[in-house]
């Protein structure tokens, strides 16, 4: 019998434990042996939550533990500002809020609110796409009611067809990014990496001092600019391949292990 446990999408507790062990039976290190990391910035959906958008309570406790040790925790999400702020407040964290895949950067402690786009072109493109693709719902996902910089279509839409159509439209420069929960239509300058850099400029922190954690292609720009990147177990394969470390722990179960290692 092989020493390695196959990775499964919705593992049992025992399977999760086994797939978090390397073949020699020791737990995997998530951080470099020596580092000067001073901030953690994390995605929400599929990273801090499971595929049903349920928070992992052990991860919540771990993040509070990191904050209590003086390490700020921030959120970099495709979600809108009201939802991000509510979670930020209830988690009790103090790091940046990078919302709408980097389209909105909010630093209330520094009295800074930045919009990288106004979302008008993205919404217009969604309306046009609904005339080109039978059944496409231009209204998109529910949180569009609060979107300020981009527009999101439902995850079941055909993102390849959307890209093909937009390439020959008046919006050829719009980015189409699929996550596990939506298809984002955004201006080319809008991404989580640029959003993080804006926040770090406000805070006076080097990107090399930031650890980021994510699961989906809209996290890829984060991985490209941060000093250290971790893809949670269950991440998109393309995103996991960009990370410095692929966590063997399923989604938010990564955080208790990460924080324990960080504070050891």
Identify the band that residue 2 occupies on the pLDDT scale cut at 50, 70 and 90. very low
Asked whether the predicted pLDDT for residue 23 surpasses 50, the reply is no
Helix (H, G, I), strand (E, B) or coil at 174: coil
Q: Are 230 and 258 in contact (CB under 8 A)?
A: yes
- Quote the percentage of the chain above a pLDDT of 90: 87
| Burial bucket for residue 94 (CB in 10 Å: 0-12, 13-18, 19+) | middle
Q: What is the pLDDT of residues 31-60, one digit of tens each?
A: 999 999 999 999 999 999 988 889 999 999
CB atoms within 10 A of CB 232: 29
Model confidence band, residue 14 (pLDDT cutoffs 50, 70, 90): very low
pLDDT value, residue 187: 98
Backbone angles phi, psi at 245, to 5 degrees: -140, 135
- Mean pLDDT for the stretch of residues 113-119: 97
Distance CA 259, CA 230 (A): 13
For residue 118, indicate whether it is catalytic: no
Selecting among 43, 45, 215, 220, the annotated active-site residue is 43
Full-model pTM? 0.89
Arithmetic mean of pLDDT, 56-72? 97
Residues 113, 110: Cα–Cα separation, whole Å: 9
Name every residue whose Cβ is closer than 8 Å to that of residue 10 and which is 6 or more positions away in sequence.
51
Q: For all residues of the chain together, what is the average pLDDT?
A: 91
Short-list 166, 236, 217, 199, CA closest to 99: 199
Specify whether the CB–CB gap between 37 and 59 falls below 8 A.
no
Q: pLDDT by residue (tens digit) across 222-246?
A: 999 999 999 999 999 999 999 999 9
Query: What is the per-residue pLDDT for 28?
Result: 83
Alpha-carbon distance of 24 to 63, in angstroms, equals 29
The pLDDT assigned to 68 comes to 98
Per residue in 170-221, pLDDT tens? Answer: 999 999 999 999 999 999 999 999 999 999 999 999 999 999 999 999 999 9
């Amino acid at each position: 019998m092989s020493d390695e446990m196959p990775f499964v999408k919705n593992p049992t507790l025992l399977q999760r434990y086994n797939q978090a062990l390397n073949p020699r039976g020791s737990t995997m290190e998530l951080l470099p042996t020596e580092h000067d990391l001073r901030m953690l910035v994390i995605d929400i959906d599929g990273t801090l939550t499971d595929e049903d958008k349920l928070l992992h309570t052990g991860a919540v406790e771990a993040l509070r533990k990191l904050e209590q040790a003086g390490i700020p925790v921030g959120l970099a999400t495709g979600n809108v500002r009201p939802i991000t702020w509510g979670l930020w407040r209830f988690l009790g964290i103090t790091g940046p809020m990078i919302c709408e895949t980097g389209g909105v950067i909010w630093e209330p402690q520094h009295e800074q609110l930045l919009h990288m786009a106004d979302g008008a072109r993205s919404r217009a493109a969604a309306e046009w796409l609904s005339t080109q693709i039978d059944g496409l719902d231009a209204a998109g996902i529910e949180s569009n009611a609060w979107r300020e910089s981009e527009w999101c279509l439902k995850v079941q839409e055909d993102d390849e067809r959307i890209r093909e159509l937009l390439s020959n439209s008046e919006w050829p420069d719009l980015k189409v990014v699929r996550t596990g929960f939506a298809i984002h239509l955004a201006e080319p300058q809008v991404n989580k990496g640029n959003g993080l850099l804006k926040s770090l400029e406000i805070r006076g922190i080097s990107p090399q001092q930031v650890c980021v954690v994510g699961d989906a292609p809209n996290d890829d720009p984060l991985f490209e600019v941060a000093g250290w990147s971790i893809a949670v177990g269950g991440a998109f394969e393309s995103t996991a391949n960009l990370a410095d470390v692929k966590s063997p722990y399923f989604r938010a179960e990564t955080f208790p292990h990460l924080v324990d290692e960080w504070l050891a």
